[in-house]
């Protein structure tokens, strides 16, 4: 009889503590910082990328991790991982305006105007840092994304 009363008294304390123990590891998710200096003109593009694109795309320098890390857990809405994919300004602008490529699930015009340009410039500069750069003039002009700029210096 005494044990039942003791458990009832501890329940209001134990349950919140258990909830906190499970929530703390999740609190660290999404807390990566943007690595582009605020004085860098690309910082605005990094901020916009993190705000509007990080739910589906990964780009470490923008503090985003939205792409699937394991192909077996990938979902249709997972976007490309820009840490390993090189892009050029034209392709990024095309994807932004048209909702990605080939019927992708990306919302069209998620950023527009100067914001779209800032995101495209940022992605073209920082995507695929360890990958081989896309050769100039590559891409299919019929699909609207011929690259004239490789994003490299």
pLDDT digits (tens, 9 = 90+) for 21-63: 554 444 444 467 999 999 999 999 999 999 999 888 989 999 9
Cα 74 to chain centroid distance, Å, stands at: 14
Most confident range (mean pLDDT) of 28-42, 58-72, 80-94 is 80-94
- Whole-prediction pTM value? 0.67
Query: Distance between CA 139 and CA 47 in Å, rounded?
Result: 28
User: Is 32 in contact with 61 (CB distance < 8 Å)?
Assistant: no
Q: Is 65 helix (H, G, I), strand (E, B) or coil?
A: strand
pLDDT of 92 above 80:
yes
Reported CATH class of domain 30-143: mainly alpha
Cα–Cα separations (whole angstroms), residue 117 to 9, 12, 24, 95, 114: 59, 53, 37, 12, 5
The burial class, CB within 10 Å (0-12 / 13-18 / 19+), for 70 is exposed
User: Is 90 in contact with 117 (CB distance < 8 Å)?
Assistant: no
pLDDT digits (tens, 9 = 90+) for 105-121: 788 889 999 999 999 99
Query: Distance between CA 55 and CA 76 in Å, rounded?
Result: 13
Report the candidate in 54, 72, 67 with the shortest Cα–Cα distance to residue 122: 54
């Amino acid at each position: 009889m005494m044990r039942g009363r003791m458990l009832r008294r501890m329940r209001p304390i134990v349950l919140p503590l258990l909830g906190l123990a499970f929530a703390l590891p999740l609190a660290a998710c999404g807390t990566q910082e943007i690595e582009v200096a605020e004085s860098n003109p690309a910082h605005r593009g990094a901020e916009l990328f993190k705000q509007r694109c990080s739910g589906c795309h990964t780009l470490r320098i923008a503090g985003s991790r939205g792409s699937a890390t394991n192909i077996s857990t990938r979902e249709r809405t997972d976007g490309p991982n820009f840490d390993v994919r090189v892009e050029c300004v034209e392709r990024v602008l095309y994807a932004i305006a048209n909702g990605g490529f080939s019927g992708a699930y990306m919302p069209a015009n998620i950023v527009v105007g100067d914001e779209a340009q800032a995101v495209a410039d940022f992605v073209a500069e920082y995507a695929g840092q360890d990958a081989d750069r896309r050769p100039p003039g590559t891409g299919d002009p019929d699909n609207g994304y011929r690259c004239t700029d490789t994003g490299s210096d």
